[in-house]
Amino acid sequence: MEFRKIKIEEFEKLKKLFPDNEKMWIKYKNKRLEELIKQEIDVFIIENNESIIGEITVNYKSHELETETIPNKRVYLEAFRIGKGYQGKGLGQKLINYCIEYLTKEGYTQFTIGVEEYNDVAKHIYFKLGFNQAIDKGHGNEFDPCAYTLYLKDINKFQIQKDIEKFIKEENLGTVVKSIIKVTGGLSHRMYKVVTDKRIYAIKELNSGVMKRQEAYSNFVFSEKVTDIAKENGITAIGAIKLKNDDIMKKINNRYFMAFDWLEGKILKAEQITEEHCKIIGEELAKIHNINFSKIEDNRRKNINTKQFEWNNYLKLAKKENKKYTNILEQNIELLYELNERSNKAVRYANDNLIISHTDLDRKNVMWQEYRLFIIDWEASGYINPTIELIQVAWYWSGGDVENLDYRKFEIVVNSYKKHSKKEIDKDIEKLIYADIYGGLEWLDYNFKRSLCIENSYKQDEIELAENEIIQSIGEIKYNVSQMNTIIEVMKKE
C-alpha cells in the first residue's frame, strides 16, 4: 500500500469512495478540482494495487468556519473516507498520521477536524489521535449537512517537549527533571529553559525557514569559531555546548537544536541603561575589534554585496493581502528607494575596511549581572566596517533604536571605544552612516519576505512578528536619518 497526494488527472478515481449520487458527485468534483488548481486543498490517498481505497482532504483555506485554518500554521481535514472492505483495519488512522507527518515537515503545527456529536466511534478515534480541544461549532454544507464540533490538535505543545527531551537524552546532557519552559528569545529562533539532573540549559530551537538555506549550517559553524576565539581573548562570550562528534547542533524530527549553559542575568531595557553600562559596552567592543581573527578568515562571507530592493513589489503584495503596514510602506517608499541608492554606494566604500566581529551587539544580545556583562547570540558574526559597528552599538545603547537618542550616552560609548581600541575612526562618517542604513534595509527586506511568505513558508506567529518588525524598522530608519548631523558631530569630536 502507498500513501501519497493525488494528482489532478486521477481525481475521477475517487468517485467510488463518494456516496452513490451522480449529480452530487459532478458538483463535488468540479468544486474540488477548482480548489486543487488554486492550491487551496490537497487530497491524500491510500493506493492498493493501483486502486484508491482511502482519502482525506486537507484545506489550507477556511470555508465554513474561520477557525478551520490559519495560513502556514493550521489546516482543516475533511472528506475522510475508507472504501468498503478496508474499514476497521486501522488504515484511516494511518492515513491521518501520514497526512499530519507530511504537513508537519512543511511547518504546520495545528490540525482541525469536524466530528458529529452522535458519532462516538469517530470521536474515540480522533481523541486518541490528539484532536481533543473543541474550538467551534459548524452546521455542515451541501455535501454533508450534519452539525458538527470542530476539534483541534496542536502538535507543538507536546511534540516540542518530546523532541527536546530526546535531544537531551541522546547528547548525554542529563534527564529532564522539571517542566520545559519557553522563554523570551531572539527574533528568529525559540529558546527554552531546560532543567536536568546534571545542570540547567538554554536550548535553542532554530528557525526552520533559516535552516532551509544552503549556507545555514556553515554560518553557525563559523559563528561558533568566532565565539571560541573571542573567549580565548578574554571576552565573556557565551557559545554553544559542543555535542557528540564535536558538533554544535542536532536535528530531531525536522527540528534543529543547540544547547547553551543557562545564564542567570538580565537584558536591560533602554531606560535601565546607565552611563556606566555605556562605558563598559564601548570598552568591550574595542576589545573585540582588537582581536586577530585571521585564522578563520572566510572569503565567501567577506563578499558583502548590495542590491536593489523590490519595495514596489512588496507594496503590491501588501495591498493584495491587506497587511497592516501597507500605509506606512506606501508613505515612505520614495525615501526607501533613495536610501537604497545612497547606501549601495556607501557600502562599497565601507567594504575597503572590514574586520570580523559580533555585528549585532544590541541590548537583546548582552546579559548583565550588575555591571558584569555576557555577550550572547554570536550567530550574526561576520565581516563589518569597525566604525560602522561603533556607530551601531553607540546608537543602540544610547536609545536611538527607541527614537530617544541620548547624546551624552552616545558620546560615552564612542569615547570609551576610542580609549581602548587600536582602530582608527574613519573620517567620512556620513558615508558610513548610509552604509549602516543598508543593514536596516536588509533587515526590512528580510521581514517583508517573512511577512509575505516569499522564498519560504512561515508560521503565523513569525508572520505577525515580521509585520511588527516592518513597522518598527521603517520608524527607526527615518529617525536614524533625522539624527545624522548630530551623530556626525559626536563621532568627529577629538
pLDDT of residue 187: 60
- 165-201, pLDDT tens digit by residue? 999 999 999 999 987 888 865 667 889 999 999 999 9
SS3 content of the chain, % helix, strand, coil (to 5): 50, 20, 35
pTM of the model: 0.65
Spans of the chain, pLDDT less than 70:
157, 184-187, 300-301, 303, 456-459
The predicted-structure confidence for 387-440, as pLDDT tens digits, reads as follows: 999 999 999 999 998 889 999 999 999 999 999 999 889 989 999 999 999 989
Phi and psi for 239 in degrees, rounded to 5?
-110, 175
User: Over the range 453-479, which residues count as b (16 or more CB within 10 Å of their CB) and which as e?
Assistant: beebbbbeebbebbbebbbbbbebbeb
Between CA 345 and CA 82 the distance in angstroms is 63
The domain spans of the chain are 2-153, 267-491
Would you give the DSSP letter of residue 213? S
CATH number of 267-491: 3.90.1200.10
For residue 299, the model assigns a pLDDT of: 72
Read off the C-alpha cell for 203: 536550548
Q: How distant, in Å, are the alpha carbons of 54, 184, 373, 402, 406 from that of 275?
A: 68, 26, 14, 17, 10
CATH number assigned to the domain covering 2-153: 3.40.630.30
What pLDDT is attached to residue 161? Answer: 83
